Structure 1
Amino acid sequence: MTYVGQSASAAQQEEAAPATFKDVVAAYVGLTKPRVIELLLLTTVPVMFFAARGIPPLGLVVATVIGGTFSAGSASVFNCVYDRDIDEQMRRTRRRALPRHIVSPRSALVFGFVLGILSTVILAVWVNPLSALLSVGANAFYVFGYTMLLKRRTTQNIVWGGLAGCFPALIGWTAVTGALSWVPVVLFMVVFFWTPPHTWALALRYREDYANVDVPMLPVVAPAREVGRQIVLYSWVMVATSLLLWPVAGTGLFYPIAAAVLGAGFLVEAHRMWGRTKGTESLTAIQPMRLFHSSNLYLSLLFVAVALDPLLTR
Structure 2
Amino acid sequence: MRRLLLILLIGLLMVGGLGWALTRPADLERDLAADHQPDPEAGALVFTAAGCASCHAAPKSEGEDRLVLTGGMGFASDFGTFHAPNISPHPEAGIGSWSFEDFARALTRGVSPEGEHYYPAFPYTAYQHMTAEDLRDLFAYMQSLPPDATPSRAHEVGFPFNIRRGLGLWKRLFMAQDHVVAASGNAQLVRGRYLVEALAHCGECHTPRNALGGLDRSRWLAGAPNLSGKGRIPNITPGELSWSEADLMGYFTTGFTPDYDTAGGEMAEVVDNLAQLPESDRAAIITYLKALPPIP
TM tier, smaller: under 0.3
TM-score when scaled to structure 1? 0.26
Q: More strand per residue: 1 or 2?
A: 2
* More helix per residue: 1
